Structure 1
């Protein structure tokens, strides 16, 4: 049951359009303003900083929570669960190391469906956000150290360009590279790297490529505006002297 229940939970949680709900609480249909996107960036621009940050956190949790649940419900022998939830132990499926691929596929499918639920929510006509915040939440559950590096890439790209879209595209493009490098340097119990031992997480690498391509594809409108010189550059609000 856990093998299909985890991805299903992920899609349902991912599909909750928090940006739409937050904006409606202020009497705004976020789809009719700014970029028309229901993600945190558009909420921040249209509704305000506090609401944008709230949306960012909630969208990230939509990815983080189902992945943590999946890691606890489908466990692999010899692999520690990053964030253990003791209450789920009684319901956990324990797979032998020889079947690690099955567990990895479930974890990755859960992560992917959380993002797809956000990007193509059935509650808003199978439309949604660009999936950056939800992807960050997913990765925080699957590979937290990579998130730290991706944030650094995002901040560097943003500091140089002052474009949120460019920073997001740069972080997305860096993800497969970081996943590959992680397999090359992360060592297993036998002292060999996961790459040398052949036990590196192949589904996770494929997943990183898929969500990177998906994130960049969702930014195709931004890319076109960047090429046309019409993309909105982030400009901090000037304080009034009054």
Structure 2
């Protein structure tokens, strides 16, 4: 394993685009809206344009290791530290986002770039409809529930099942499960507010 690459991708993951973008409007995103420095909170506090910029940046952090190192035996670990960097960024006192967008970047990488040469992912229909279908699921849940946390948790869970069902490497599956648990823990406050009827809605 290349420890330099582990540190590098952690540092790249630690770049928080919500903090950066919010500076353009002189807003401290950690003290606005829900206080979470992520795409959903930027959408609520600053609007769609800024949220799209943050989303692209956060997706890219997860996608980057797959694009740069598709044949590396330790690729999943480089992806993992990018997500860890997003959740616990060294540049922002370990106060980061919830990891969803960066994880989705990883998912896009493993299914669209397909470094493991999985036959399911090679299918033309899969390549065309994979992202739109999961995107549609996410937005339908948002439309019905108006709660970003529910849509995020369900979408992460479904995409993880897709990866685990098609990639049989034990270490890969273990890392995907750990990522899911981390994302679930990061949403624990949302789930508490949801149960008490106090969760922020779109």
TM-score when normalising by structure 1: 0.71
In structure 1, the residue matched to 2:85 is: 117
In structure 2, the residue matched to 1:188 is: none
In structure 2, the residue matched to 1:141 is: 109
Gaps of 5+ in 2: 113-120
In structure 2, the residue matched to 1:171 is: 155
- SS of 1:54's equivalent in the other structure is helix
1:52 shift after superposition: 0.8
1:201 shift after superposition: 2.4
CA contact (8 A) 1:175 1:209 kept: no
- SS of 1:143's equivalent in the other structure is helix
TM-score when normalising by structure 2: 0.84
Gaps of 5+ in 1: 75-102, 184-199, 235-242
Higher-Rg member (1/2): 1
In structure 2, the residue matched to 1:64 is: 63
Moved over 4 A (4+): none
In structure 2, the residue matched to 1:26 is: 25
1:127 shift after superposition: 1.0
Q: Specify whether residues 206 and 14 from structure 1 end up closer, same or farther in structure 2 by C-alpha distance, changes over 3 A only.
A: same
Higher helix share: 2
1:152 shift after superposition: 4.1
CA contact (8 A) 2:14 2:82 kept: yes
1:157 shift after superposition: 2.3
Q: Specify whether residues 206 and 152 from structure 1 end up closer, same or farther in structure 2 by C-alpha distance, changes over 3 A only.
A: farther
CA contact (8 A) 2:19 2:28 kept: yes
CA distance in 2, matches of 1:44, 1:156: 17
Q: Deviations over 1:112-157 (max 9, x none)?
A: 1000001000111111000111111111112235962543432332
